[in-house]
Amino acid sequence: MTTESTGQARSYPTGIGTSTTDRIELLGLDLADDVLGQVSFGELAYWLATKRRPTPGQLRVFEAALVSLADHGYTPTAIAARMTYYSAPDSIQGAIASGLLGGGSRFLGVTEDTGQFLAGIVQGLGDDPPSTEDGWDAVAREAVSAAKSDGRKVPGIGHPVHKHGDPRTPVMFRIAREAEVFGPHLALFEAIGRVHPEVLGRTLPLNGAGVAGAALADAGLPLGLLRGFALLARTAGLIGHLAEEQQNPVGPAIYAEVDRNATYVAPEQ
């Protein structure tokens, strides 16, 4: 039975925005009069995701995390965007989309994976989290030991380039402390950095994607959207790569390098 046949009115509620002939409303405000020129893009992104305005400290940490994730050189996401642009220069949206589609467990997705991992442990602590480094170390030691026993990786540690320390990590810790947004997720992540060598038998750096996930969780962002924020940040980096590709393309050289050095191996019959 359809809605029309029952006489019930359709309703698709949203608290994001709407528009009329002469007005655009966003989050309950007049976009032209109350938002334009008064709200930064970072603040608006936070507001849209949470339906609440961030505190100055939350906004500082949020924007710092976005900046930290914007670009990391010739990652697979950047190469994918450049190659798609070479193939379809008439489709800038396709090039950006192809780069974003590569945000997974190895690149960009680590932000959400780490946030979710930490949150699962923090939530299990209830209303009585540790108040000392030793207390957090004990929690971290148990968490890393459990992951090792289960054959799971601890997200947010290790990096293919920054073998001896990710330069973003200590800065994010400092900014969160200065902004008074250093909460249980960052405290636990910091403790994992201290104790994991004794459990795993090797020392790995706390990576930038991981600390961003911890920081975003402490800043009050929804855990299920953390990968979305990593993609939001990387969109800016991809636009930069595509702007560079328009001026000094490397896509043709990458294509030629692979094509000219491809080795055909016939499948066994």
Give me the residue spans of the domains in the chain: 110-225
* Beta pairing partners, 24: 19
| Confidence at 165, pLDDT banded by 50, 70, 90 | confident
- What is the predicted pLDDT for the residue at 142? 94
- Decide if pLDDT at 3 tops 70: no
pTM for this one? Answer: 0.90
- Decide if pLDDT at 37 tops 90: yes
Judge contact between 59 and 216, C-beta under 8 A. no
- What is the predicted pLDDT for the residue at 108? 74
- What is the predicted pLDDT for the residue at 175? 98
Proportion of the chain above pLDDT 90, given as a percent: 80
Judge contact between 166 and 114, C-beta under 8 A. no
- What is the predicted pLDDT for the residue at 42? 95
| Confidence at 1, pLDDT banded by 50, 70, 90 | low
Distance of CA 259 to the CA centre of its chain: 33
What digits encode the pLDDT tens for the residues 49-106? 999 999 999 999 999 999 999 998 899 999 999 999 999 999 999 999 999 998 877 7
- What is the predicted pLDDT for the residue at 162? 76
Q: Give the domain 110-225 fold.
A: Cytochrome p450-Terp; domain 2 (1.10.230)
- What is the predicted pLDDT for the residue at 158? 82
- Decide if pLDDT at 229 tops 80: yes
What pairing do the DSSP bridges indicate for beta strands 24-26 and 17-19? antiparallel
The C-alpha atoms of residue 212 and residue 186 are separated, in whole angstroms, by 9
Q: Which pair of structure tokens corresponds to residue 163?
A: 């073998």
Pick the range with the lowest mean pLDDT from 18-32, 56-70, 100-114, 116-130. Answer: 100-114
| Confidence at 248, pLDDT banded by 50, 70, 90 | very high
